[in-house]
Structure 1
């Protein structure tokens, strides 16, 4: 299974590099009038998938700063065989570097989610499902296609994840095998 993840990650990175090398030389920096975007992300900072809204809040020359927030629901099987859907909120800040349509995108985020864990009830010695808070920090290095005047929006990125256990005293972990792709519209 690890070989399959490594191959998929390598394929995404080669694709992103090929697109960036294929980009035409851009001679002058264009001011973005379409600073908003709505898009679907699969993988990436959302963990699985999310619908996101992003906004370019600063631009100067080739550099643009972007913030995004999203929403998703993760399916969770409970101990009593019932299915529950728990919310996920990915937040991200990225810097875009490029003159016109093609950009290098780098940044980080914070993704919070709810999940269930088993809790032992000491009076009855039964296990019960308990909803717990979880979070991870996604990092991003990737390619972003976005026209200054708006329209089709696309990005692909390498997004390793730093997982940390809030309030549980557990160990932090690093997952270097993660990537994501996004499609949407900027306006």
Structure 2
């Protein structure tokens, strides 16, 4: 009997720890969301997956697709992009501070219409560095997801190099469809709304 009591006293705390760990909620990993502006530069549809769920600082990887027709007259344009990002999340419940670093490749095809000449097509490609700081709301049990971001976007590369000061001035005109493409760095907000899969 004494041996049984000794074993129970020894194993009791271990059983309690095991029960507590089994009751702990494991956060849902996968989120699909729409983002206005943000790291996709334009509107994008993205998928986010959480990692390091048992750590104080969790991480996530995000990949998305930007697809947006721009109907500016006399030119019509199509923007296609692929934003990707690696993120660090601080906070254990629903509210998180999110820091991230990403790259966005963006291709812009422009169709120029003219009553005199046939339509002309031109394509330019851009690569942006997209750091961000965000407030992220994500329930560990899944459901509603939203985020408000600030992403100071950095223009790294463009397929068409800026050949003259006049061309740079042209890029800065108000009807320019690529925000900040005449500037090296431009501030950029982001608003995300989506759903964490249960």
Same fold (TM over 0.5): yes
The alpha carbon displacement at 1:31 in A equals 5.2
- Residues 1:66 and 2:60 aligned together: yes
* 3-state SS in 2 of match to 1:83: strand
Contact (CA 8 Å) 1:76, 1:116: kept in 2 or not?
A: no
Does structure 2 conserve the Cα–Cα contact (< 8 Å) formed by 1:33 and 1:150?
A: yes
- 1:43 paired with 2:53, answer no
**SS of match in other structure, 2:194:** strand
**Which whole-Å deviations, capped at 9, do the CAs of 1:31-79 have from their partners, x for residues lacking one?**
5431000111111111121111110132333211101111122334689
Report if aligned partners of 1:55, 1:66 keep a CA contact under 8 Å in 2: yes
- Structure number with the bigger relative contact order (C-alpha 8 A, sep ≥ 6) is 1
Q: Take 1:139 and 1:162, find their aligned partners in 2: how far apart are those partners?
A: 8
For residue 127 of structure 2, what is the aligned residue in structure 1? Answer: 135
C-alpha deviation, 1:133, in angstroms: 1.6
TM-score calculated relative to the size of structure 2: 0.66
Which among 162, 176, 189 is matched to residue 179 of structure 1? 189
Residue 92 of structure 2 is aligned to residue 99 of structure 1: yes
Quote how far apart the aligned CAs of 1:117 are. 6.7
CA RMSD of aligned residues (A): 2.7
Structure 1 residues without counterparts, runs of 5 or longer: 1-29, 119-126
Structure 1 residues 159 and 82: alpha-carbon distance in aligned structure 2, compared to 1, 3 A threshold: closer
CA shift, 1:172, in A, is 6.9
More strand by share: 1
Secondary structure of residue in 2 paired with 1:45: helix
Query: Structure 1 pair 32/182, CA: closer, same or farther in 2 (3 Å)?
Result: farther
Q: CA deviation at 1:128?
A: 4.7
After superposition, the Cα gap between the structure-2 partners of 1:117 and 1:184, relative to the gap in structure 1 and judged at 3 Å, is: closer
Alpha-carbon deviations, 1:64-98, whole Å to 9, x = none?
1101111122334689x463423111111111011
Larger radius of gyration: 2
Distance 1:78 1:181, change over 3 A: closer
Decide whether the 8 Å contact of 1:165 with 1:172 is kept in 2. Answer: no
Cα deviation for residue 167 of structure 1 reads 4.7
Instruction: Specify whether residues 97 and 32 from structure 1 end up closer, same or farther in structure 2 by C-alpha distance, changes over 3 A only.
Output: farther
